[in-house]
Structure 1
């Protein structure tokens, strides 16, 4: 694979990375900033069962997962800007409407709609980056985007807590809608259209199905996309069990946001380091090495808990911190490798991958959370299983050979919108 491959856009590099991260960050914000508000909105909207409060996250994720497959073909037909801005408008309207939600059912519906709008940001950010970069340059840019993006999980819960100290739970949605307006205006004024007219595909069922077929027939792309499903399962498993582990087992209490944010900081550091070394070592070598270390670390973690029982918090945090550090190396490079050969159908590929990774990965993460038995032993086992699944998918993508550098693949001929 060529060391670097780029196509120019008219934004300064720093602004391009910051804008892409901000667009993706709206999705993380819609989840993480909500967490402190769950007890308050549950009480205000008469939610009888405490566990039902988390449905505001579940419904958002359903909308986010299902709709990505729609935004993909739309962005390949109409370009990147228009579908992106439509998605942002949907996100903003749903956020502001949630302020007036009279019942919990209405709020859940609006969260579903908000997730549907946010789906456009994830799909189109990946497509825009693929339009402008390929090869190791794409992995470098995605690493830096992810590094900035990881600031959101660090600060969002604290922002939510501050908002609740100054106002009711509706202030959370006012903040989401307001920030959405700011980022939308930024994108409207500064983000260029990155998909040329002669590279657009007709919005016909036959062409859409052909696009899906092109994606599914590519062994490398599908292998790394399926690896991404297990990778997403890892992070969802962590999110679903973090409160139970940090607060329930280790009784961190008010220190929980700090411990949670520190792991996000580790991921940001890992993304920065990946951007520095991917040009030298390549995406495959980094991803393959990281997943093997992740698997070994998880197995040692599991065996240690079986033999010794409850670990001291520093030991637990070392095991978990190393895994989450490696997660960033695996996720960034696997996502880049899945998109690398599909530049001609980048929107369709991003939408298809995003949908099944979100839906299946969330299911895997839910499975890990359901294994929780008051100890971290099943969580460590779940992480090991996710790493094993990731490794198997990578072996499939690479026909059984790891640590290669790959070769630059020719892009698939595009059908233009005028055909």
Structure 2
């Protein structure tokens, strides 16, 4: 028997589901991107030195990766709604705790706890979408969700900068608590339970481990999970070092929010375009093309960063192109990786999200700490991650890229069990 919070009286339509899933995921993004303009002030007030300010971001990423191991299994047993409410309540309470932190060590500890406790906000939305649809249609819906979700990274730094100027950096955490409350009310009033009795899973540790093992060992899935973790890890590296890179290396701190937001616009446009073309061309064709494109742009970025006195006007267009490629990669690789796992969608989303976030946090932290006053470490990591990601996708696809939608379905049927 699935234990459920009282469901909404009327099911969500597709449009409302897309917006609500995007907002749930956006809480995590706001908790990262709104912090960026305030890292310098946090470091000054709490006596953090050098690149240590980046731990405010990387600790949250790491916590989200570690915490993602657990919510999917509980969502497969008790339902999607209860797990979301635990994540939302934790988001609100720990945001208030961060606002009251009196030392840098306490702030980092609370950020780590917040990432762990709120991981369900990243895990459960993908499981809810998978409860409704699969395949290329899931890729289309995920693209639309990502398109709305990505509005937050565009506006969050500007919101954070305004709050910083008017009320100080602690008020940014207060804004997080307010946003969590508003989204929580929407979930309570409108989101029905999407887990069916037929797909409910046992909560016993052996069952959880078996489901997670199944989600890990499927060859047609794991290359996409780890491959996307690597390429997004290089994005996390940019997030960690963006405040220093833009404000200090390029001397454009006053325009940080505008520059950061404009670099994300390419990702928004890519997700919109992907939602229009993916069902025609297939998630594999679009995603593989984008991964190769990411590698080419990374090579150009490395060349540019190696030139004496790289300018901001050279760096930003190439970064925006990289972001656009990531926009195509994210939704398509996620949909391909989730395709075999409707019966264990929560556990599969959990382990896959955990791998992406943990890998991204560790890799992004290492890239951020390698910051040397130039964009070279970032460019080198982007190129290396694109090459390794392509190798992993080739492994999953048995060395054959660009499968058409019909051919991809036959491939899944032929290799359904490993």
- Is the pair's TM-score, using the shorter chain for normalization, greater than 0.5? yes
CA 1:83–1:381 in 2, change beyond 3 Å: closer, same or farther?
same
Contact 1:344 1:412 in 2 (8 A): no
Contact 2:224 2:392 in 1 (8 A): yes
What pairs up with 1:5-404 in 2 under 5 angstroms? 10-44=11-45, 46-306=46-306, 308-404=307-403
How far 1:189 moved relative to its partner?
1.0
Cα deviation, 1:173-203, whole Å, max 9, x if unaligned, reads 2211111011011011111111101210110
Partner SS state of residue 407, structure 1: helix
Contact 2:304 2:315 in 1 (8 A): no
Contact 2:51 2:369 in 1 (8 A): no
How far 1:350 moved relative to its partner?
1.1
1:407 alignment counterpart: 409
Where structure 1 has 5 or more consecutive residues not aligned to the other structure, the ranges are 1-8, 414-419
Partner SS state of residue 220, structure 1: helix
How far 1:78 moved relative to its partner?
0.8
Q: Which whole-Å CA distance do the structure 1 matches of 2:111 and 2:370 have between them? A: 27
CA 1:294–1:99 in 2, change beyond 3 Å: closer, same or farther?
closer
Q: Which whole-Å CA distance do the structure 2 matches of 1:242 and 1:236 have between them? A: 10
Cα deviation, 1:196-247, whole Å, max 9, x if unaligned, reads 0121011011211110221122111111111121122121122233334333
CA 1:281–1:190 in 2, change beyond 3 Å: closer, same or farther?
same
CA 1:247–1:38 in 2, change beyond 3 Å: closer, same or farther?
closer
CA 1:303–1:177 in 2, change beyond 3 Å: closer, same or farther?
closer
Cα deviation, 1:13-54, whole Å, max 9, x if unaligned, reads 22111100100000011111122333444444x425354333
**How many residue pairs end up in the alignment?**
403
Q: Which whole-Å CA distance do the structure 2 matches of 1:315 and 1:168 have between them? A: 33
Cα deviation, 1:368-409, whole Å, max 9, x if unaligned, reads 334444333343222111110110111011000000030164
Q: Which whole-Å CA distance do the structure 1 matches of 2:54 and 2:251 have between them? A: 21
Contact 1:36 1:160 in 2 (8 A): yes
CA RMSD of aligned residues (A): 2.2
Contact 1:237 1:364 in 2 (8 A): yes
Contact 1:18 1:145 in 2 (8 A): yes
Contact 1:92 1:114 in 2 (8 A): no
Contact 1:342 1:412 in 2 (8 A): no
Q: Which whole-Å CA distance do the structure 1 matches of 2:374 and 2:95 have between them? A: 37
How far 1:128 moved relative to its partner?
0.6
**Larger mean Cα displacement after TM superposition, 202-211 or 240-249:** 240-249
Partner SS state of residue 144, structure 1: helix
How far 1:316 moved relative to its partner?
2.7
Q: Which whole-Å CA distance do the structure 1 matches of 2:245 and 2:169 have between them? A: 26
**Larger mean Cα displacement after TM superposition, 326-335 or 32-41:** 32-41
Q: Which whole-Å CA distance do the structure 2 matches of 1:102 and 1:249 have between them? A: 30
Cα deviation, 1:248-288, whole Å, max 9, x if unaligned, reads 33222312221110011211111101001001100000011
TM-score under structure 2 normalisation? 0.90
Q: Which whole-Å CA distance do the structure 2 matches of 1:283 and 1:39 have between them? A: 40
Q: Which whole-Å CA distance do the structure 2 matches of 1:384 and 1:108 have between them? A: 30
